[in-house]
Amino acid sequence: MKTVFSVDELRAVVADWRRAGESIAFVPTMGNLHEGHVSLLRRACELATRTVVSIFVNPIQFGRGEDYARYPSTLEDDKQKLQAAGLDLLFVPNLDQLYPGGMEEDTRITVPVLSTILCGQFRPGHFSGVATVVSKLLLNVQPDVALFGEKDYQQVLVIKQMAHDLLMPVEILGMPIVRDPDGLAMSSRNAYLNASERACAPLIFQLLTRAADKLRRQDTSLIAIETAGMAELAAAGFRPEYFSIRRAQDLSAPRPGDTSVQILVAAWLGTARLIDNLRVEMPAPLQSV
């Protein structure tokens, strides 16, 4: 495994691979890697002859008062995991490499509509920060395919829309959520949970599965399901932001006749903001919303 720290070094390696006719799969991360990240790399190794992982904690996707300054940094441990998984190239840029114009004056990319709902409502500017840094990475890695975990389902849709609209020649793949045995979606931010919070956190997935059962039966309105989810989270000590049922393809409001919906949740537990989601394929089209 080779590690590079500059855009010029990255481009030189990629150019050699391209001249040799090799395919490239890419997994962008913010480090503090867990099994969810490693599963993306394993799939990347199956899809291409060369693999690239980036580690960069992107400041412009964090809002005021969020955890940018304390986001866990575990580079040496991350390198060991990536080496063991068969990575070819690790890209670890600094701020000057990715934001040569400075963070305040650097160009921004914004994906309309998708970026302002759900997490975008509670984290203004977050998805513009994501779209901007991912576009820079894609332009320089030049992968054939880039893989993203579907725990951040809204993020996957934002990036797919961006790549489509900007005519980027890359396939964006969303990969299934990897969960702990008790159902909690793996996340770097789970490290913020203390013992009692960690014991409580799996309730999120339990509520998602209960809501999915109600949806399939179609004996309860969508609003009632969402309201119950919010109430149960609050009663358990969470500070929920949303518990929402949306169309899977674009996160718009469900409509009668839909057969594929996504239940999405965001809630604070202590100092950790947790997100999760669950796809529901309806046995019969939605009759009402």
Out of 46-50, 102-106, 154-158, pick the least confident: 102-106
Q: Which CATH superfamily does the domain covering 2-175 fall into?
A: HUPs (3.40.50.620)
What are the pLDDT digits (tens) for 172-217? 999 999 999 999 999 999 999 999 999 999 999 999 999 999 999 9
Residue 110 has pLDDT above 90, yes or no: yes
Report the alpha-carbon distance of residue 238 to residue 241 in Å, rounded: 9
Give ranges for CATH 3.40.50.620 in the chain: 2-175
Report the alpha-carbon distance of residue 14 to residue 31 in Å, rounded: 21
| Active-site residue identified among 34, 37, 126, 164 | 37
The runs of H, that is alpha helices, within the chain are: 7-19, 35-47, 75-85, 95-98, 119-122, 126-141, 153-165, 195-200, 203-217, 222-235
Please tell me the predicted confidence (pLDDT) of residue 289: 87
Contact 222, 246 (CB under 8 A): no
Topology adopted by domain 188-281: Pantoate--beta-alanine Ligase; Chain: A,domain 2 (3.30.1300)
Please tell me the predicted confidence (pLDDT) of residue 104: 86
Q: Is 37 a catalytic residue?
A: yes
Mean pLDDT, residues 42-69: 95
What is the side-by-side order of every strand in the sheet holding 89-91?
2-4, 89-91, 50-55, 24-29, 145-149, 171-175
Contact 247, 253 (CB under 8 A): yes
Give ranges for CATH 3.30.1300.10 in the chain: 188-281
**Overall pTM surpassing 0.85 (yes/no):** yes
What interhelical angle do 75-85 and 35-47 show, nearest 10?
40
What are the pLDDT digits (tens) for 40-52? 999 999 999 999 9
Please tell me the predicted confidence (pLDDT) of residue 103: 86
